[in-house]
Structure 1
């Protein structure tokens, strides 16, 4: 719950929690009487871009319990208290990074018995709320009202664990999020930080960084990090079938990897083409400048002939393994080189208008 990019070891993980999943009392949502106020727990991140200088109203209702964790290490305590209250609605007030931290810490506490979740888009990036159709001015009261009168959107976050921990069945090392990227995506994340400093956020920031990424693919030299990408090996499914490579450039490298379980992305981008549900990937080999010129069409979901032969791979998989020699990014957070298993976490029910 901080703005800089941290390494994997600094992430809040399940093992950091102090309460088992059994601490959660049954939700009162299905037992509430007509007109009875729901029990609501709010994680408020005062460092989120949209919250800076804002004084959150802590006297909304006696049924609304607000926690302001000073850092990630305080999240488990706050979420455990919410679980013991049997909250009907968990409201996350922050951006994508805050969502990632809350879901990661909450997995060991709520287990398979999560409350409904609402997200107030208060971060520099709010890709999840774009997918949920939540407006930028959504308030806490709007989210509470939507618990009974709004819609529900089901999503499963990406679940990442080291390959070694996954093979040993160590659930404590899992981290949950929604957008994963590597290669040029890591460079784009750094460019996005610069765009934020220039005042570009959300879809505008996505547009700026996407344009810069395409420009680098078009004009940078072959050894430029944007075009060279990262050495990585991707194996699909439980059978660990090696992802195909077009043969363009070094077959041990991918220029870019992007994966998500979201179905709608900022700025109207559709990098996965017609693929919509589940865990989706798009990987770029070291594509030619001619193919790079077609990237705007591919990113917007337009039909482009012979994509795979050109070195652009769009596919879905229930899980995959990633062996990478460089950092990769999950919701703005840097993870170090290594071997990882990437799958899908629990199905969560998000409240939407």
Structure 2
């Protein structure tokens, strides 16, 4: 029997798998060194990883959207299925946003990325491994175990992500078109202060505490916390400090978000100070607000007054990077 080099964890309900999964299944059937496990729901991921741990793969490949990746990382962190030596993780380009896959150099065709990972797993993976810090999210209603992820959006950004999910995705448009429409709707509401049902809602008051660096309070058009290297706006946060959460907060002011995005496109964001734009590196962050939603890799959590969402860094995990 061939040694299992790759364990593939697939979520058939992820966007890209609707068309790609039959080809992925056929490819796996032809390669005995791939162990393919499919889950229909997030609560099956624990059992999936318990089973995968028995075959001791060289690499764990996740075939799903950012929400599937987040659920798998959370189970890896809390479940202890692999003891102290979890396998490196690879992420196929799938789902609606693919932020984690893009950060690791996976883009384009799912099957081609899988083929490349199988090729790498048959040799020495070391040159292709990168350590990534993870975000541990804790909330009063969740108990002691954190949810693990890599990208959190809050304030106006979370409102726009939810607007896109509930108002634009149902139109059946391509993902790229949907994201552009959501961004345009955000800009229209931001620039003209319109309160219309077909636009994203105005952000509510939010308090963000950054340990050792004080507190930010007010309304924010954008709040972003991540450990990803390829940020949406800039890679110059907190002096690029290792092992730290990277925070971007843009206050709700006329034209400020547009100026911040323009500065990012010109490569100037973070290089000069811009009033109302906050770039911080932190070990711990607390977010508190009145029924204010945040989204961690696709999963929504709500910050309340007296019930803040607390973010900290989790132990780093090895990932397989497909591009230099």
Fold match by TM threshold 0.5: yes
| 2:284 aligned partner | 319
Alignment correspondent of 2:185: 212
**2:113 maps to which residue?**
139
Distance 1:131 1:340 in 2: 25
Aligned equivalent of 2:9, options 43, 46, 54 = 43
> What displacement does 1:38 show?
4.6
Report the structure, 1 or 2, having the larger strand content.
Answer: 2
Q: Which of 233, 239, 249 is the aligned partner of 1:270?
A: 233
Offset of residue 292 of structure 1: 3.8
Distance 2:261 2:268 in 1: 9
1:180 deviates by: 0.7
For structure 1, which runs of at least 5 residues remain unmatched after alignment?
Answer: 1-35, 245-250
For residues 201-350 of structure 1, the aligned pairs below 5 Å read 201=175, 205-221=178-194, 228-237=202-211, 241-244=213-216, 251-265=217-231, 269-271=232-234, 273=236, 276=240, 278-287=244-253, 289-300=254-265, 301-303=267-269, 306-307=273-274, 310-325=275-290, 326-337=292-303, 338-350=307-319
- Asked if the contact 2:226–2:247 (Cα under 8 Å) also holds between the matched residues in 1, the reply is yes
Shift of 1:128: 1.0
- Inter-CA distance 349–74: structure 2 relative to 1 (3 Å threshold): same
Kindly report structure 1 stretches of 4+ aligned residues shifted beyond 6 Å.
222-225
Q: Which of 129, 132, 148 pairs up with 1:155?
A: 132
Q: Distance in 2 between matches of 1:145 and 1:132?
A: 17
The alpha carbon displacement at 1:243 in A equals 2.2
TM-score, structure 1 length as denominator?
A: 0.75
Distance in structure 2 (CA, Å) of the matches to 1:163 and 1:191: 26
Q: Taking structure 2 as the reference length, what is the TM-score of the superposition? A: 0.81
Q: What is the CA–CA distance in structure 2 between the aligned matches of 1:290 and 1:61, rounded to whole Å? A: 54
Contact 2:190 2:255 in 1 (8 A): no
Change over 3 Å in CA distance of 1:254–1:292 after alignment to 2: closer
Structure 1: distance between partners of 2:293 and 2:258: 27
Counterpart in the other structure of 1:3: none
**8 Å Cα contact 1:217/1:227 also seen in 2:** no
Question: C-alpha deviations, 1:172-208, integer Å up to 9, x for none?
Answer: 2x11112111111122112332444442326x55444
**Deviation of the 1:142 alpha carbon:** 1.4
CA distance in structure 1 between the aligned counterparts of 2:130 and 2:180, rounded to whole angstroms = 26
| Aligned-partner Cα distance in 2 for 1:127–1:260 | 11
Question: How many Å separate the matches in 2 of 1:328 and 1:316?
Answer: 19
Taking structure 1 as reference, are residues 208 and 37 closer, same or farther at Cα in structure 2, changes over 3 Å only? farther
Answer yes or no: is the 8 Å Cα contact 1:133–1:352 preserved in 2: yes
The residue that corresponds to 1:83 in the other structure is 53
Partners of 1:144 and 1:38 in 2: CA distance: 10
- 1:104-123 CA distance string (max 9 Å, x none): 12212246422011111121
**Structure 2 CA distance for aligned equivalents of residues 149 and 46 of structure 1:** 30
Structure 2 gaps, min length 5: none
Farther-moved stretch of structure 1 (92-101 vs 334-343): 334-343
Secondary structure at the aligned position of 1:79 is classed as: helix
> What is the aligned length?
298
